[in-house]
A and B are shown apart, each in its own frame.
Chain A
């Protein structure tokens, strides 16, 4: 089963290496990892998607906790949450097929961010499934280049994950 972990870490140099190294040496598989600063400049937030059963998840969580720079770990998978990935795709496009591609973009609410003589570049955000579908829809036109981020995620509603604890705000 896939789990989405929200991991708050101290914004110290080397923290990404510590986390990545831990996963590789303990034999845990990372499906995706995204990291960036939070509202607090001293704290970064990693969203880690990890594949494994309950025993593996328990070990991942506990081993992560042993890293001094890791402040808090929440498995948000069982909760209601919003998750997004971003993809930028450059597709081969003769002027004749531009309209078709723009229709695909419309369906996925993607945006055109660049236009070349024979290419068109689109960006799209969404959850994993949508991004995969978007990629598949563009594949017949000839994907020249593709880059996508790891997933970022946040709990819905009044529930939140912060340094001071995950709690109901009401």
Chain B
């Protein structure tokens, strides 16, 4: 059958099971938008391409299916870059499709030309520019395969306009042949046996779980492992929800803004079992004194993560879920003992908490109220900053894919478009974007998208009139010289109303519950302006460059 490139693209998306894409039209993607006009694919029109990339990312994190975003050449494509880099850092399966100027105009600084494959080379798992319509179907198939297998990540496909407009007799592209891409999924027997022996010998084990647990769907295996060994579990920011937050073995997060008991447990452990985590500097603190007494078992899909930052005594390369299933039968149950008692003692001594004050509004109190109002069942997206850490500490995540946050890249402006993607993926669930007054303004234009599609996303702005996390660092490490961190903000309630959304302002703890109930009841997007205590800090904290044991606050 004669088809043009755009129709082949749509067919390829349908073949991959794609039913939703996030995008923004433009000159170089006109043929693609023409093909989408009567295609059985839902297109969400964002208001800025960065929103499309983040929404596709949020969609992917919530659903486990690859997110797809689409933008035109030049500025459309470059606007995707932050979102692509974000997905790359957090290993999110995404396919970004960009239009490109016609092949004949490539390399001539043509109107709206940008070398997007060159630009995104370091922030994609792989990328393509399709030079011939005959290659398009196979390229697309490879793109989805690469994005979703092994360690997931974003793949960009750049399509010049003469390729999307060019025609050919369509035929199925056939099987994929990528000799340079063979992810290792199963752990090696030898390594598994070593790991099992180390686990059997350990007295003070700690499981350190990351985003890989959620990515590979290994949360049940992780729980079985922890319960079998009676081993405490700490998670990274990306791992939140990968282990039930209300489980007695749970330690909360570790690292810079981890709990004291998680960090102390890591410092004193004799065996650290890293599961789908990559020893980020925010997790390890000072590398030289990280888990000094521990044998480290490192389970990861990506061989390059082994010994990248921290020594690994027993590396096991493979898919976390598969490896845990290989490992579990080799282990015997352990009993709770002195180690668990010590940890329980730490938990009692150093709880994470704050002082409630019903006349003022504390951010921690807001997050706790959101937790109560949603009965812990909401999908929570966040922006980046203090509110992100409070959202990590004071909402209890009991299931995977319920905490959606920019971890590696730390991209302000991520949460709101991501929440839109989450809401599109989970139309019947309550979705919150927990935001700061700084972050929310980085992609505030997406309120128009939320109103357009009547997506009932609730935006909870922790409004303290500061770029709070930067202010906190200035307070602690720069002598309170608050350089360029105080914000003059718009009226968020009026702003929401101007977009056609609802706005609610809350200034007292006593008003929290009714405001949240109203927001959740509302069938459209709601902006909640929580005017919080201005100089509340995120504690406890490991100062930069310090060991995990040296926490302040």
B541 to chain A, nearest CB (A): 29
Interface-forming stretch among B299-307, B457-465, B497-505? B299-307
Which residue in B118, B129, B180 is a CB contact (below 8 Å) of A10? B180
CB neighbours (8 Å) of A66 from chain B are 125, 302, 304
Are B180 and A69 in touch, CB under 8 angstroms? Answer: yes
Q: How many residues of B contact A (CB 8 A)?
A: 18
Interface-forming stretch among A57-65, A75-83, A105-113? A57-65
Are A9 and B121 in touch, CB under 8 angstroms? Answer: no
Are A58 and B122 in touch, CB under 8 angstroms? Answer: no
**Residues 41-99 (chain A) with a chain B CB within 8 angstroms:** 55, 58-59, 62-63, 65-72
A18 to B304, CA, bound (A): 17
A17 to B126, CA, bound (A): 13
Are B117 and A68 in touch, CB under 8 angstroms? Answer: no
Which residue in B121, B179, B181, B303 is a CB contact (below 8 Å) of A18? B121
Are A17 and B118 in touch, CB under 8 angstroms? Answer: yes
CB neighbours (8 Å) of B121 from chain A are 14, 17-18, 21
Give the contact-size bracket for chain A. 20 to 34
A16 to chain B, nearest CB (A): 11
CB neighbours (8 Å) of A14 from chain B are 117-118, 121
Which residue in B117, B146, B179 is a CB contact (below 8 Å) of A71? B179
Are B307 and A58 in touch, CB under 8 angstroms? Answer: yes
Q: Which B residue sits closest to A164, measured CB to CB?
A: B179
CB neighbours (8 Å) of B188 from chain A are none
A122 to B125, CA, bound (A): 45
A96 to chain B, nearest CB (A): 51
Q: Which B residue sits closest to A25, measured CB to CB?
A: B122
Are B122 and A68 in touch, CB under 8 angstroms? Answer: no
Interface string of B306-327 (1 = CB under 8 A from A): 1110000000000000000000
CB neighbours (8 Å) of B302 from chain A are 66
**Interface residue A163 (Cβ < 8 Å from any Cβ of B):** yes
A14 to B121, CA, bound (A): 9
Q: Which B residue sits closest to A9, measured CB to CB?
A: B180
**Interface residue B178 (Cβ < 8 Å from any Cβ of A):** yes
CB neighbours (8 Å) of A71 from chain B are 179-180
Are A62 and B125 in touch, CB under 8 angstroms? Answer: no
Q: Which A residue sits closest to B155, measured CB to CB?
A: A68
Are B122 and A65 in touch, CB under 8 angstroms? Answer: no
B163 to chain A, nearest CB (A): 15
**Residues 305-360 (chain B) with a chain A CB within 8 angstroms:** 306-308
A162 to chain B, nearest CB (A): 11
CB neighbours (8 Å) of A18 from chain B are 121
B435 to chain A, nearest CB (A): 31
Q: Which A residue sits closest to B131, measured CB to CB?
A: A13
Q: Which A residue sits closest to B117, measured CB to CB?
A: A14
**Residues 140-192 (chain B) with a chain A CB within 8 angstroms:** 146, 178-181
A65 to B180, CA, bound (A): 8
Are B178 and A55 in touch, CB under 8 angstroms? Answer: no
Are B125 and A68 in touch, CB under 8 angstroms? Answer: yes
Which residue in A21, A65, A72 is a CB contact (below 8 Å) of B304? A65
B115 to chain A, nearest CB (A): 10
Which residue in B129, B178, B303, B308 is a CB contact (below 8 Å) of A68? B178
Are B180 and A67 in touch, CB under 8 angstroms? Answer: yes
Are A68 and B304 in touch, CB under 8 angstroms? Answer: no
A66 to B180, CA, bound (A): 9
A147 to B57, CA, bound (A): 49
CB neighbours (8 Å) of A21 from chain B are 121-122
A93 to B29, CA, bound (A): 62
CB neighbours (8 Å) of B181 from chain A are 68
A68-B180 contact, Cβ under 8 Å, with A14-B117, A17-B118, A18-B121: yes
A70 to B308, CA, bound (A): 20
Interface string of B435-449 (1 = CB under 8 A from A): 000000000000000
A69 to B181, CA, bound (A): 8
CB neighbours (8 Å) of A62 from chain B are 303-304, 306
A68 to B306, CA, bound (A): 19
**Residues 102-157 (chain B) with a chain A CB within 8 angstroms:** 117-118, 121-122, 125-126, 129, 146
B93 to chain A, nearest CB (A): 15
Q: Which of B121, B146, B179, B181 is the most central at the interface, judged by chain A CB atoms within 10 Å of its CB?
A: B179
A68-B118 contact, Cβ under 8 Å, with A10-B180, A62-B303, A63-B304: no
A40 to chain B, nearest CB (A): 11
**Residues 129-170 (chain A) with a chain B CB within 8 angstroms:** 163
A70 to B181, CA, bound (A): 8
A36 to B122, CA, bound (A): 24
CB neighbours (8 Å) of B304 from chain A are 59, 62-63, 65-66
Are A59 and B178 in touch, CB under 8 angstroms? Answer: no
Q: Which A residue sits closest to B153, measured CB to CB?
A: A66
Are B126 and A55 in touch, CB under 8 angstroms? Answer: no
A8 to chain B, nearest CB (A): 8
Q: Which B residue sits closest to A69, measured CB to CB?
A: B180
A159 to B162, CA, bound (A): 47
Are A163 and B122 in touch, CB under 8 angstroms? Answer: no
Q: Which residues of B contact A (CB under 8 A)?
A: 117-118, 121-122, 125-126, 129, 146, 178-181, 302-304, 306-308
Cross-chain pairs A/B with CB under 8 angstroms, 18 sampled: A10-B179, A14-B117, A14-B118, A17-B118, A17-B121, A18-B121, A21-B121, A21-B122, A55-B307, A59-B307, A59-B308, A62-B303, A62-B306, A68-B126, A68-B146, A68-B180, A71-B180, A163-B179
Q: A10-B180, A63-B304 are in contact. List 14 more A-B contacts (CB 8 A).
A: A9-B180, A17-B118, A21-B122, A22-B122, A25-B122, A55-B307, A59-B307, A62-B306, A66-B125, A66-B302, A67-B180, A68-B146, A68-B178, A68-B181
> Closest 10 A-B residue pairs measured CB to CB?
A62-B304, A71-B180, A68-B126, A68-B181, A71-B179, A62-B303, A70-B180, A63-B304, A25-B122, A68-B180
